[in-house]
Amino acid sequence: MSQTITLYVDGACKGNPGLGGWGAYVITEQGEHKLCGGEAETTNNRMELTAAIEGIRFCPQDASLIIWTDSNYVKQGITEWIHGWKKKNWKDVKNPDLWQILDQLCQGRQIEWNWIKGHAGHAGNEMADELANLGASQTAAQLKSGSVAAIDKKKPQNDWLLDDPFGFDMMTNDMDTDDTLQETELQKHVDPRLENEIPETSTESLHPQIVMTPAKIQAQGPRQLILDTETTGFYFQDGDRIIEVGAIEMINRKLTGSSIHIYINPEKPVGDSVDVHGITDEFLLDKPKYAEIAEPLFEYLKGAEIIAHNASFDMNFLDMEFKRAGLPTLSEVCEVTDTLALAKNKHPGQKNSLDALVRRYEIPARDRTFHGALLDAEILSDVYLAMTGGQVSFDMDALSQREQNQRKGQRARIEADLPVIRPSANELEKHNEWVKSYQEKNGEPCLFAK
């Protein structure tokens, strides 16, 4: 059975173009591996690409790879733009040598590409950044000692991305207004040689009224998001809208401390639903509309397993809102676990509302006079952990897959010699007498005589 390997890749460049380094932090089921290197004269984008290439080269061909990069140039290039480049036979594409190598390495592999915000305190990304700078430092030391020859500067090539012949406006879609203004100011002082370099832009443009908390615990593994929404009513088909979203992050059954919470102006009265959630029209008046917060919310949620109580309700509303905002539906990019369905399967014929489950599993009481998305998500996280096994007596995270397999094998090899107690002659005689009397009494032999 093939293993799953997580890679964090990053590049660094002193000057752009200039001295550069790349780093790949590889996490396998057996341990961690730290790879790095550098070049005397390069660009940041080339180092980002090289980090991905070297990280993939290090991994077995049959392994399933989860790659995290803080470069949109790499992530969108390999998942979206590369198809156009191939059709144009790589004409006017910058760094075609590295893109073709990366494309060839990806063939036949199972790879999940993810973007992560750089320099945001994420342990994996920070380690990759540290390795990239180490690679640059080692290359600088080799240059100083004369073991690496300096490379002549090359004239930058025009990039097909900037020409955008199909009118996709890919770069402008990646930048918010503030980023564009900053780019304009920076261009006044940019070396002309860098004009064709793809700027590193973030797809995340947080609205000031989005409350997002960073993770306090850095854990490796698939993300689970316990989520809840509040709405103006029950029927998304009839125009009801979302007014609140709350989600908290869990990895390996541990709450990391990361969460997102947003109040949203539904552009319509909340009506009688105010009796459920207590959120008034006046309170929502100055809150952002869904289109304003859709992209950062989508970025936070996508790729995770969504855990919700009566999940179809929340997912129908979220899918409708994201589709209205011009984004993919959330159900296309997330797995979904419905705790209501789990509860009905585990406790058939019983009440399985969130309040009922709180009482059944003796979850510490909270004030729920009014429902709130983040509050309900916190309660649901306790219920989910209790319902799916509670806390374990030892740290499963500390066991590697190999150790767990060994333990299973050891259990399978245990053999016990059970004693066999045979009947005495007297016991056998009494048994036969009982069998005969049973047949005489009932007119047919008993089971032991058949």
Question: Can you tell me the mean pLDDT for 259-273?
Answer: 94
Here the tokens at position 395 are: 């740290």
Q: What is the DSSP letter of 307?
A: E
Residue 32 has pLDDT above 60, yes or no: yes
Here the tokens at position 400 are: 């590697």
pLDDT of residue 415: 61
92 annotated ligand-binding residue: no
Backbone angles phi and psi of 331, in degrees to 5: -65, -15
129 annotated ligand-binding residue: yes
pLDDT of residue 116: 85
Question: Is there a cis peptide before residue 423, judged by omega within 30 degrees of 0?
Answer: no
Q: What is the pLDDT of residues 106-137, one digit of tens each?
A: 999 999 999 888 777 788 889 999 999 999 99
Q: What is the pLDDT of residues 288-305, one digit of tens each?
A: 999 999 999 999 999 999
For residue 230, give the H/E element and its range.
strand 223-231
pLDDT of residue 217: 87
The catalytic residue among 33, 207, 347, 371 is: 371
- Ordered by where they begin, the domains of the chain are 4-154 (3.30.420.10), 210-387 (3.30.420.10)
Is the pTM higher than 0.75?
Answer: no
Pairing status of strand 242-251 against strand 335-338 = unpaired
Question: Can you tell me the mean pLDDT for 334-363?
Answer: 93
Higher pLDDT, 411 or 358: 358
Confidence of residue 263 (pLDDT cuts 50, 70, 90): very high
pLDDT of residue 347: 92
Pairing status of strand 18-27 against strand 32-42 = antiparallel
pLDDT of residue 402: 43
User: Order of strands across the sheet with 18-27?
Assistant: 32-42, 18-27, 4-14, 64-69, 110-115
230 annotated ligand-binding residue: yes
Please confirm, yes or no, whether 371 is among the known catalytic residues.
yes
d(CA 251, CA 223): 5
Query: In this prediction, what percent of the chain has a pLDDT beyond 70?
Result: 79
228 annotated ligand-binding residue: yes
pLDDT of residue 198: 33
Residue 215 has pLDDT above 60, yes or no: yes
d(CA 58, CA 69): 16
Higher pLDDT, 190 or 225: 225
Q: Residues in the chain, how many?
A: 450
162: Cβ–Cβ under 8 A, 6 or more apart, which residues?
A: 171, 196, 198
pLDDT of residue 164: 40
pLDDT of residue 431: 87
395 annotated ligand-binding residue: no
* Cα–Cα separations (whole angstroms), residue 276 to 125, 234, 237, 408: 42, 12, 20, 49
